[in-house]
Amino acid sequence: MKQFYDTIYEQKKQMEISVVNRPSASAQLSGWCYFAKPDDEMEICEWANGEGLDVTITRDGEQTKVQITWGEWELLTKLVKALQQ
């Protein structure tokens, strides 16, 4: 058993830790959504690899998180535009 833990320990020592700053933006929902409460908000944060976004919506203290690639975002915006026509 000790050999197993020694192997795990050696593997962990070799792992790299990277710290990145990711672009993000946030706003209160109350100025945009009739149903929003004063503390409701939305935040988007670009992935560290640049391939998509995390979208976090806070309603009534509960968070909903959606991860979406740029391709999915593009299709979503086109679908919304199609509904608005």
Pairing of strands 41-46, 24-28: antiparallel
- pLDDT beyond 90 at 50: yes
63 belongs to a structural domain: yes
Number of domains in the chain: 1
**What average pLDDT score do residues 51-67 get?**
96
pLDDT at site 57: 97
pLDDT band at 63, cuts 50/70/90? very high
Report d(CA 16, CA 20) in Å as an integer.
13
Per cent of the chain over pLDDT 90 is 73
Domain span including residue 40: 22-84
pTM above 0.75, yes or no: no
pLDDT at site 9: 66
60 belongs to a structural domain: yes
Report d(CA 22, CA 12) in Å as an integer.
25
